[in-house]
Amino acid sequence: MSIWEISEHKGGALTPRLDKRLSMVAELIEPNRIFVDVGTDHAYLPAFMVITGYSPFAVASDVRIGPLENARATVRKYGVEDKVQIILSDGLDEIDGDFVQEVVIAGMGGELMCEIIDRAEWLKCKEKALVLQPMTHAEDLRRYLTQNGFSIVKENAVTDGGRAYCAMRAVYSGEVKEHGEAYFYIGELLSGDITEDIELYIKGILKRLKFKADALKDKPEFEGEARRLYMLLDEISGLALKDLP
């Protein structure tokens, strides 16, 4: 049974119900590992993971007191105070890098994620993994990761409430791989099973890029940028057409 199905069945009294986006994130966390959920807000993900036994222990952290109060209420409601530690922390600044094995950051902008990762030198370790679900600037996050020795090993996308979301799992390899610009937009989304949601996510990217290029093409000062965007569109379409049904 997938995490999404478990969440559908058990949601309510026994576990918090994860929506499709958070279920996708949960599926990218390796079972039996201790993880920190940075920017946890209600701590639904840590509570779900320890209640279902996917994770033995989780740290729920946030930079603001209000969300940590929400986290505390969830942890108390589900009786998992002994399995979820709540920590006030700006990014990973107060997190013990020797203790956590996986770092989850979901529901924030990609640029903020880059800043958080960049400040935590201990992430440059082959035993740790990152699970990231950027709401914006996913291309900047992929660029940052691959140019700083992290490899994206798995990605997925879902649509929920008319919005498409992506999430990725990355590990430190120390290798800086060269990638074309198109890679930063689609990452590893075409590497596994291509679901209808992945197709929708990629079509959304193509639509956004085309909209931007069309808006710039008649302005002489942005002609070069428009040309670059059309070339990028062709490159992404080429890759996608090869793989999309």
The smaller minimum CB distance to ligand SAM, of residues 121 and 221, is found at 121
Other C-beta atoms within 10 Å of 29: how many?
23
The single residue listed with the structure tokens 């996510």 is 201
Residue among 106, 129, 189, 205 that touches ligand SAM (CB under 6 A): 106
Other C-beta atoms within 10 Å of 239: how many?
18
The smaller minimum CB distance to ligand SAM, of residues 170 and 240, is found at 170
CA pair distance 210, 216, nearest whole angstrom? 10
When asked if residue 63 is in the footprint of ligand SAM (CB under 6 A), the reply is yes
When asked if residue 160 is in the footprint of ligand SAM (CB under 6 A), the reply is no
The smaller minimum CB distance to ligand SAM, of residues 108 and 114, is found at 108
The DSSP string of 83-114 is: TEEEEE-STTTTS-TTT-SEEEEEEEEHHHHH
When asked if residue 107 is in the footprint of ligand SAM (CB under 6 A), the reply is yes
- Residue 204 phi/psi, 5-degree rounding, is -65, -40
Q: Per DSSP, which regions of the chain are E strands? A: 35-38, 58-62, 84-88, 102-109, 129-136, 150-160, 163-172
Question: Interface with ligand SAM by CB under 6 A: which range of 56-64, 77-85, 175-183, 211-219?
Answer: 56-64
Question: Interface with ligand SAM by CB under 6 A: which range of 33-41, 164-172, 212-220, 221-229?
Answer: 33-41
When asked if residue 91 is in the footprint of ligand SAM (CB under 6 A), the reply is yes
Question: Interface with ligand SAM by CB under 6 A: which range of 101-109, 139-147, 213-221, 232-240?
Answer: 101-109
Longest dimension (CA), the chain: 62
Residue among 7, 15, 23, 40 that touches ligand SAM (CB under 6 A): 40
Is the Cβ–Cβ distance between 172 and 146 less than 8 Å? no
When asked if residue 235 is in the footprint of ligand SAM (CB under 6 A), the reply is no
What angle separates helix 196-216 from helix 223-243, to the nearest 10 degrees? 160
- Least Å distance, CB 39 to ligand SAM, is 3
When asked if residue 16 is in the footprint of ligand SAM (CB under 6 A), the reply is no
In the chain, the amino acid numbered 187 is G
With contacts defined by CB under 6 A, how many residues of the chain interact with ligand SAM?
Answer: 15
- Least Å distance, CB 201 to ligand SAM, is 17
Binding site for ligand SAM (CB under 6 A): 22, 38-41, 62-64, 67, 90-91, 106-108, 116
